[in-house]
Chain A
Amino acid sequence: MKSSLGILYLLCVSMVLIGMNDFTVQERLHLVKWPKPTYNFKQYPVTEDGFQLGRVLFYDPILSRDSSISCADCHLQYTGFAHVDHQVSHGIDGRKGTRNAPALVNLAWKTSFHWDGGVSQLHLQFINPIEHPSEMDNKLTVVLERLRNQSFYRQRFKQVFGNESITTMQFLSAMAQFVVSLESKNSTYDRVMRKEKGVSFTKQEKNGYLLFKQHCNACHTEPLFTQTFFANNGLPVDPNYDDIGRFAITNRSVDSFLFMIPTLRNIEYTFPYMHDGRFAKLKDVINHYVKGIDRSTKNLHQKLRKPIPLNEQMQKDLIAFLKTLTDKEFLYNKRFSFPKELLSTRK
C-alpha cells in the first residue's frame, strides 16, 4: 500500500514538473516575482497577426496629417521607445509639445497613461498623439479612411478581425497589440535576480543597488521600477510651460504638480529626463535629488521632505546600478523593429 502511494506521489510530482517545462526557468521565476499585468488580455487579446498589424501601423507615417511622422519618430526602439535627446515631443511642421515622450515599455502593468495619467486605457492613448495639433495633427476619421483606401491594410485587417471595415476599435486594438507586447525583462538586473549562472553585480553596482533600495525604491519600485501613483519630486516649475501636472485631469489641489513616476528600465538610453526633459544626464537627475529639490513646493512627496545624503562616490555607484537596468535584448529585438518585409508588400 505504502509503495503504491509512493509511486502515485512520484507520478504527480513528475506531471507537475513536466507541466512546468512549458515555461523557461526565467519565465517561471518571473511568474513568481512579477505582479500580474493589469492589462485586460481577455477583453483585448493579442494575436500574432494583430501584433504584426500593430507593428506596421506604429511605424507608418500615414497616421500623421502630412504623412511625415510615425509613432516611432518619438518612440525609437534603440532608445527604449523614448525620444532620445529631445526635451519635448516633436510634431509635424517642426511643432513642439510641452512634455517629454515617455518610454514605451512594460505597458501591460500600467494603470494610466500620459505624464498626468489622463488616459485610462492603453488603446485609448493612441488617439491623442494622432489628433494633437503639436504632434500628428490628424483626424481619426482621416486615418481610418486612408487605411481603408489601401489594399494592404484591408487585407491585414481582414486577416486579424475577419472583415475589412477598419473601425476605430479595430485600429486601436491592433495598435495596442503591438505596444502592449513591448516587454523588457532581460537586463543585467533581471539576470542577477534570477540567479543566472555567471551573472552578478560588480561591487559598485551592488553598492548602488543598496542605495537604490534605501532612497529610490519607494517610488521606482522593482521589478517594474515605477508605481501607479503620481508624485511631486520637487522640480521648480518651468515658466515656459507652467505645467500643473495631474491637477489638469482631476481638478483637485492635492494633485497639483504631481506627475507619473516613469519606469527606470533602460534609463541609460531614455534621456533626457523628467516630464519636460530638463535633465540631459543621469548625474543631473541624481544631483536634483541630492541638492535641487524645491522643498517649498506644494504636495512634495513625503519621501523627499528630508535631504538625501549621497556623496559623489555614492552617486556614481547609484548610476552604475541604474545602468544594469539596460536590456539590450529588448532594445535590439528585431521583432519590435521597423517592419521592412511588411511595408515592402504594400501596393
Chain B
Amino acid sequence: MKWKLVLIITHFFCFLSFSQETNELLIHVNIGNEIVVLNEPIQVGDSIITITSLKFYLTVVDEHDRSIVQLIDWSEAKTNRILCTASSRLFLGTDSLTNVSGNLESDLDPIHGMYWSWNSGYINFKLEGYWNNHAQQKFEYHIGGYRAPFETFRKIGLFDSSTTELLIDLGPLFKSSSEKMMPSIMTPGKNAFLFSEKLINSFQLK
C-alpha cells in the first residue's frame, strides 16, 4: 500500500513540474501605428511601404530546455499566436541544432519556403515587398545563418504569466530612404547578422 502512495505522490510532483500553465501569446505586427496587412501600402515618412510577404520562426524554450519551433506566416491569420509556459524564453529564429538536425517535419518542412537548399539551414526571418507603389523598387530580406560569427538566432525575452502580446514594430527598419537601404539580403553573413541585430529591437513582449 505504501509503495502505491509513494508512486501517486511522485506522479503528482512530476505532473506539477511538467504541466505549467500555458498562455496564448498574440502577435501584432505594425509599422509605427499602422497595422501591417499584406499587400496594403503604409505611409512611412515620405515613403510608402508595401509588404507582400512576412514569415518568421519563433522558438519557445521552456524551463526544462525543451524547445518548440513555430512558423509565423502573416498570410495565414491562424499562425499569429503562439503558446508559451511561464518562465519560458522566446527567441527569433531557429537554433543551430535545429539547423543541422535534418528534421524536416511540420513547420520545419522546406515546403514552407523557409529552407535554404544550397546551404543547409533555415531562413529565420523573411520580409519582402516594395517601395512607393513601384513593383520594381523591391526589397527582399531573407535573414538567417547559424554559423559563428554571423548567427542570427536572437533572444526576444522571458515570458511570464502576465505576458499576453508580442509586439513587432517594423518601422525602425524603414527609417532610411529606399535609396539608402540595401535592397536585398539573401544569404547568411555579415549583412544578415547586422540586420538581425537591428531587427531584434523591433520585437517586444508585453
- Residues of A bordering B, CB below 8 Å: 114, 118-121, 123-124, 127-128, 130-132, 139-141, 144, 167-169, 172, 248-251
Contacts and interface: CB of A to CB of B under 8 A. Distances in A.
A217 B117 CA distance: 32
A284 to B, nearest CB: 28
Interface in B160-206: 187-190
Contacts of A130: 117
Given A114-B118, A118-B120, A119-B120, A140 B150 contact: no
Given A167-B109, A248-B187, 18 more contacts: A118-B120, A119-B119, A120-B102, A121-B100, A127-B110, A128-B118, A132-B117, A132-B118, A140-B110, A140-B111, A141-B111, A167-B105, A168-B109, A168-B110, A169-B103, A248-B119, A251-B188, A251-B190
B111 A120 contact: no
B191 to A, nearest CB: 10
B75 to A, nearest CB: 15
Contact of A124 (B102, B111, B150): B102
B147 interface: yes
Interface in B53-109: 100, 102-105, 109
Contacts of B110: 127, 140, 168
B118 A119 contact: yes
Contacts of B100: 120-121
Given A120-B100, A121-B102, A140-B111, A131 B120 contact: no
Contacts of A120: 100, 102, 120
Contacts of B147: 249-251
Nearest to B187: A248
Q: Chain B interface mostly helix, strand, loop or mixed?
A: loop
6 contacts: A118-B119, A119-B117, A140-B111, A144-B111, A167-B105, A168-B111
Nearest to B189: A251
Interface of B: 100, 102-105, 109-111, 115, 117-120, 147, 150, 187-190
Contacts of A123: 102
Contacts of A169: 103-105, 109
A127 B119 CA distance: 11
Nearest to A114: B118
Contacts of A132: 117-118
Given A121-B102, A172-B104, A128 B117 contact: yes
Nearest to B193: A251
A119 B104 CA distance: 14
Nearest to B112: A141
A5 to B, nearest CB: 48
Nearest to B109: A168
Nearest to A120: B120
Contacts of A124: 102, 104, 117, 120
B8 to A, nearest CB: 37
A130 B109 CA distance: 15
Contacts of B187: 248
A248 B100 CA distance: 18
A221 to B, nearest CB: 25
Contacts of B111: 139-141, 144, 168
A140 B113 CA distance: 9
B76 to A, nearest CB: 15
A121 B120 contact: yes
A251 B150 CA distance: 8
Nearest to A249: B119
